Amino acid sequence: MKASELRAKSTEELSKEMVELLRAQFGLRMQISTQQSTKVDQLGKVRKDIARVRTLIGEKARQA
Residue 3 pLDDT grade (very low, low, confident, very high; cuts 50, 70, 90): confident
Residue 64 pLDDT grade (very low, low, confident, very high; cuts 50, 70, 90): confident
Residue 50 pLDDT grade (very low, low, confident, very high; cuts 50, 70, 90): very high
Q: Say if residue 39's pLDDT is above 90.
A: no
Q: Which domain holds residue 19?
A: 3-63
* Number of domains present in the structure of the chain: 1
Alpha-carbon distance of 29 to 55, in angstroms, equals 23
The CATH number of residue 7's host domain is 1.10.287
What average pLDDT does the segment 20-40 reach? 92
Alpha-carbon distance of 24 to 50, in angstroms, equals 10
- Give the percent of the chain with pLDDT over 70: 100
